[in-house]
Structure 1
Amino acid sequence: MENVFIKETDTILQAMKTFDESARRTVFIVDEDMKLIAALSEGDVRRFILSGGDLNEVVSKIANYHPRTMKEDDRDGAKEFLSRHNIEGVPIVDDNGVVIDTVFWSAGKRTHQSNLTTPVVMMAGGKGTRLYPYTRILPKPLIPVGEKPIAELIFDGFAEYGISRMIMIVNHKKNMIKSYFSEASVPYEIEYADEDTPLGTGGGLSLLRGKLDETFILTNCDILIEDDYSKIYEHHKKEGNVITMVCSLRNFQVAYGVVEFGEHGNITDMKEKPEFSFFTNTGIYIVEPEVFDYIKDGEFIGFPDIINRIKNDGKKVGVYPINENSWMDMGQLDELNKMESRLRGK
């Protein structure tokens, strides 16, 4: 069986690590005899985080103690069962409630239930200096990850949700980008906004003033996320945000023993290779068109600075948390190699 099991006394942070390690969005809480106790989904955790919950709380605080189950004799109808109840996985239990197997949707096999019509804007004008020497030859959006360039992989992911309007803000090696996509066979249209001079990670949006009057998705050109875009969009609308930032949990382990000391150099605590967890900006956002009111034409500005302007004006900016394994970033060479390895493993 897959490693999708946790204990009732595990913390929510430990459960999130199990999500990442298993690449599943549902885990099951069992006792020492593998008897099913409850289930926990990413959605349960996300709602808890957004309510201000502490990741060190135990999973019993938010678990579903009435999970759906199946018997072995019903296994042939498992996929229809999952679809009917809109769940990712289900445990198969015996007459005593002991888990004997699990059934999940296979990666990439589940069809998306909703179509999005919101356009996607990609910030694709940077030089990609962190990816030298590759970007001495190719613009960052055309760096290949497997058989396709990263920008095409990103657009393909949005197209799976029915999105057909893609916009690229381009500058560095822009003709090469346009030439590639003019010959690529893709199920979406790509429009271009040309930066004559670099305008930062946010200033280029001013080029779309008057061309976008609806909610749009803004993405960097070097990241992939594996999450449900329709749910992110629904959350954004429900919360009434001007901007919703998709944030990923990141776990970092210090490679050395950490020493804390006080007055006169007296050691107060020692921790061997401690691990820290926090949420980071993935570089993808859901954005309302009123964002254009906070950008001047031709202004060089980063998108985080635009966010601060909106916050300082009393408008609402929120987050949508995802697990660490749901975010792939190729902004640096070592991360590019990790992304290639992970996509090859699918």
Structure 2
Amino acid sequence: MLKAIILAGGRGKRLRPITDYIPKPLVPIKNIPIIEWQIKYLKKFGIDEIIICTGYKQDIIEHYLNIKNIGIKIKFSVEKSPLGTGGAIKKAAKLINEKSFFVINGDTITNIDLKELAKKQNSLASIELRTNFGILETNNDKITKFREKKEIVGVWMNAGIYHLDKEILRDLPDKGDIEKTVFPNYAKKGKLSTVKFKNVRWYSIDSFKDMEECALEIEKIIK
């Protein structure tokens, strides 16, 4: 059994005014909060305990999950002030005894296979980069075809899901983002891997448009 950390401490400013009243993890997709969809996703892969990193309106998140019958052990790692993703992971992972654990960003909805990610230590899931804009195909400055937004083949982006060895904690900052501190350093030293996922569903809920698009697919993503 593996543990997972959900990074759920952000303010979700792009989803205001909703997030003036409720924290981003409780923003509903098809009437179910983002964090509840994430818990369902993690349970599918045998996660038996989740540590939720909270900060902004953390009492509302705790109250909601405490009254729900989630069916999984949940602990909370509360940040009195923002620690960044690296600091949040470092603090939360003190509650984990296993040699490795998963981390997922608190606004990520996906069907990425965690069993595949678990095969590599200190690895991040990557998906092909997607453009949010229409694509033009041209020939000698003449437009030949319009395409809607699509994946850009061969260019990979961080999907916001990690499988980390607990030894990484000694290198994490007390405050700061893992993506800007440890990951670049590990990459230079050849200590960071990726597992590439093609043809997966993946949403980062950063806008009302993201909410709308994810709502159309959510029941296919997390069954």
Tell me which interval the TM-score lies in, with the shorter structure as reference length: 0.7 to 0.9
Deviation, 1:162, is 2.1
| Alpha-carbon distance change, 344 to 227 in structure 1, aligned in 2, over 3 angstroms | closer
Aligned to 2:80: 196
8 A Cα contact 2:2 2:46, kept in partner? no
Are the counterparts in 2 of residues 294 and 309 from structure 1 also a CA contact under 8 Å? no
1:212 and 2:91 correspond: no
Matching of residue 223 in structure 1 with residue 223 in structure 2: no
> 3-state DSSP class of the match of 1:304?
coil
Instruction: Give the Å deviation of 1:280.
Output: 1.5
* Bigger CA radius of gyration: 1
Match runs of 1:101-180 below 5 Å: 117-180=1-64
CA distance in 2, matches of 1:145, 1:254: 23
Normalised by the length of structure 1, the TM-score is: 0.56
1 CA distance for matches of 2:134 and 2:112?
Answer: 30
User: For 2:14, what is the secondary structure of its paired residue?
Assistant: helix
The letter for the 1-side match of 2:125 is V
Matched, 1:246 2:125: yes
Are 1:340 and 2:215 matched, yes or no? yes
Distance, in Å, in 2 between the alignment partners of 1:218 and 1:185 is 23
CA 1:256–1:141 in 2, change beyond 3 Å: closer, same or farther?
Answer: closer
Deviation at 1:325, TM superposition (A): 3.8
For 1:233 and 1:296, locate their aligned partners in 2 and report how far apart those are by CA, in whole Å: 24
Aligned length: 213
How much does 1:286 deviate?
A: 0.7
Aligned twin of 1:15: none
Tell me the equivalent position of 1:316. 191
CA distance in 2, matches of 1:256, 1:146: 30
- 1:295 is matched with which residue? 172
Spell out the pairing of 1:256-295 with structure 2 (5 A cutoff). 269-270=140-141, 272=143, 273=146, 276-277=152-153, 278-295=155-172
CA distance in 2, matches of 1:206, 1:325: 29
Structure 1 residues 341 and 180: CA distance shift in structure 2, 3 A:
same
Residues in 1 aligned to 2:162 and 2:213: alpha-carbon distance in whole angstroms: 23
- Paired with 2:207 and 2:12, the residues of 1 have a C-alpha distance of 9
Matched residues in 2 for 1:130 and 1:253: separation?
A: 17
Q: Secondary structure at the match of 2:169?
A: helix
How far apart in 2 are the matches of 1:339 and 1:244? 26
For residue 61 of structure 2, give the secondary structure of its aligned residue in structure 1.
Answer: helix
Instruction: Give unmatched runs, 5+ long, in structure 2.
Output: none
SS in 2 for 1:334: helix
Matched-pair contact (CA < 8 Å) for 1:164–1:187:
no
Instruction: Please say if residues 121 and 168 of structure 1, whose CA atoms lie closer than 8 Å, have aligned partners that are also in contact.
Output: yes
Q: Deviations over 1:321-341 (max 9, x none)?
A: 112542122222211110111
SS in 2 for 1:125: coil
Structure with more relative contact order (C-alpha pairs < 8 Å, separation 6 or more): 2
Structure 2: distance between partners of 1:331 and 1:151: 14
Q: When the two structures are superposed, what TM-score results if normalisation uses the length of structure 2? A: 0.85
Relative to total residues, which structure has the larger strand share, 1 or 2?
2
Q: Deviations over 1:112-159 (max 9, x none)?
A: xxxxx1101011100011212221111011111113211111111111
Residue 69 of structure 2 corresponds to which residue in structure 1? 185
Query: What is the distance in 2 between the residues matched to 1:324 and 1:181?
Result: 32
CA contact (8 A) 1:193 1:207 kept: yes
- Cα distance in structure 1, aligned partners of 2:68 and 2:26: 12
> Are 1:329 and 2:211 matched, yes or no?
no
SS of structure 1 residue aligned to 2:10:
coil
Distance 1:228 1:171, change over 3 A: same
Are 1:169 and 1:192, in contact at CA under 8 Å, matched by a contact in 2?
Answer: yes
